[in-house]
């Protein structure tokens, strides 16, 4: 029993270490940006989602990127509008031209965010997702799983730009991500 406990603790430490130290800040040029949803309350952004959108704006300002931004997120319980619509509204209120924002409004999971966004990007560009440079904007705790699921959806050239987890959410979000990563690793197989 002690050996099993030691194995479990070791796996937890290794995976959490990988999640914590996963590369998260790229300013490389990209063809498209995908911003992953993170929940809303009614019509209000959560702090996590607002931080992701602020990082998107920061990337635009630092790089001069003037292409399209796919905001990805459907409507879940307790949400009176889609996450995508809430994200579009926030970006427009903060100076991003509405005609540069593309809504993916069906996804209810990270896997679906990337799968549905892939279809939109391929339709817009006329190219395969594997041939495009995609920047994924998410939160630091979510970077490793997002990249895993992007690869499983055929994204070959991805970079990440992440916001920091709010300090009071660090313990719960990183612990939750351990289990979410395990679920995605074993069950979300992609294409």
- Give the model confidence (pLDDT) of 72-107 as tens digits: 999 989 899 999 999 999 999 999 999 999 999 999
Quote the percentage of the chain above a pLDDT of 90: 87
pTM of the predicted protein model: 0.93
- What are the two backbone dihedrals, phi and then psi, of residue 133, each rounded to the nearest 5 degrees? -85, 120
Please report, for the domain that includes residue 124, its CATH number: 3.40.50.620
Look at residue 22 in the predicted model and tell me its pLDDT. Answer: 83
User: Considering its fold, how many domains does the chain have in total?
Assistant: 1
Q: What is the mean pLDDT of residues 127-153?
A: 97
Q: What is the domain range of residue 50?
A: 2-187
The count of other CB atoms within 10 Å of the CB of residue 163 is: 24
In the block, residue with structure tokens 């029993």 = 1
Sign for the pseudo-dihedral over CA of 88, 108, 144, 28: negative
Q: What is the mean pLDDT of residues 113-118?
A: 98
The pair of structure tokens assigned to 96 is 């991003």
pLDDT at residue 191 tops 80: no
Are the C-beta atoms of 144 and 18 separated by less than 8 Å?
A: yes
């Amino acid at each position: 029993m002690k050996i099993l406990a030691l194995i479990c603790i070791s796996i937890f430490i290794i995976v959490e270490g990988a999640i914590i130290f996963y590369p998260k800040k790229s300013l490389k040029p990209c063809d498209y940006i995908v911003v992953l949803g993170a929940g809303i309350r009614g019509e209000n952004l959560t702090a996590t989602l607002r931080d992701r959108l602020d990082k998107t704006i920061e990337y635009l300002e630092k790089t001069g990127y003037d292409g399209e931004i796919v905001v990805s997120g459907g409507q879940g319980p307790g949400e009176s509008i889609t996450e995508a619509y809430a994200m579009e509204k926030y970006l427009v209120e903060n100076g991003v031209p509405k005609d540069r924002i593309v809504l993916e409004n069906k996804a209810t999971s990270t896997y679906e965010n990337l799968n549905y966004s892939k279809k939109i990007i391929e339709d817009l560009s006329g190219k395969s997702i594997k041939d495009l440079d995609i920047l994924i904007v998410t939160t630091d705790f979510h970077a490793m799983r997002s990249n895993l699921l992007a690869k499983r959806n055929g994204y070959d050239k991805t970079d990440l730009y992440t916001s920091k987890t709010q300090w009071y959410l660090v313990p719960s979000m990183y612990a939750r991500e351990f289990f979410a990563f395990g679920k995605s690793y074993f069950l979300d197989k992609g294409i």
